[in-house]
Amino acid sequence: MKKMRLAILLGLLILSLSGCAKTYRGTGELIAKAREELPVPEAETADVRYAGMCAQDDRAVAWFIYGGGDRKYGYLPMEIKVKGQRSAKYKFVKILQPVTGECEDIAAVNWNQGCAFLINNPDCAAVRITDENGTYEEKISHDAYPYVFYHSPLPSAYVFLDADGNELP
């Protein structure tokens, strides 16, 4: 009987602790978490900055930029759970794998039945997105970089355009 009580007590303790993931307050603490997750050897000394967030309900993709100087920029999208309506409290869910294509300083990640984008290229003035509903253009202001946004449903195609409407190389 004592073993059964101990097993039940241990099970309840494990269940109560499973929801105790660390809460990160503000973007400063999220940057520290991103630094821990960086896929580069110099993660402790790399310049890491918060680029923005794409939110959908109580989930979000927080984008981080690292590197620069003599190295190309790297992009780290982190899925988080947003805690509370007005507070800046977050729970880490997982690191996502960004797709970086031919266009420099642009990254995207398929997420939550859509696509989250980070545009860090000032030559990119718009993103033309095709999905099941047709074609849509996301315009980017010349002073909005880095620019993050989320598009749903999942695009079947997207093209990055310069200010003249030409596809970026």
Provide the pLDDT for residue 42.
77
Provide the pLDDT for residue 1.
56
Sheet holding 106-111, edge to edge: 106-111, 114-119, 147-151
Q: What is the per-residue pLDDT across 63-75, written as a single tens digit (0 to 9) for each?
A: 999 987 777 899 9
Provide the pLDDT for residue 6.
41
The token duo for 106 is 């642009």
Over residues 44-54, mean pLDDT: 92
pLDDT band at 2 (very low <50, low <70, confident <90, very high): low
Nearest to 146 by CA among 95, 110, 106: 106
68 φ/ψ sector (left φ>0, alpha ψ -120 to 50, else beta): left
45 close to 67: Cβ distance less than 8 angstroms? no
Q: What is the per-residue pLDDT across 140-158, written as a single tens digit (0 to 9) for each?
A: 999 999 999 999 999 999 9
CA angle in degrees (0–180, nearest 5) for 93-110-169: 130
pLDDT band at 20 (very low <50, low <70, confident <90, very high): low
Compare 7 and 24 and report the one with higher pLDDT: 24
Provide the pLDDT for residue 12.
40
83 close to 23: Cβ distance less than 8 angstroms? yes
Residue 114 has pLDDT above 50, yes or no: yes
Provide the pLDDT for residue 8.
46
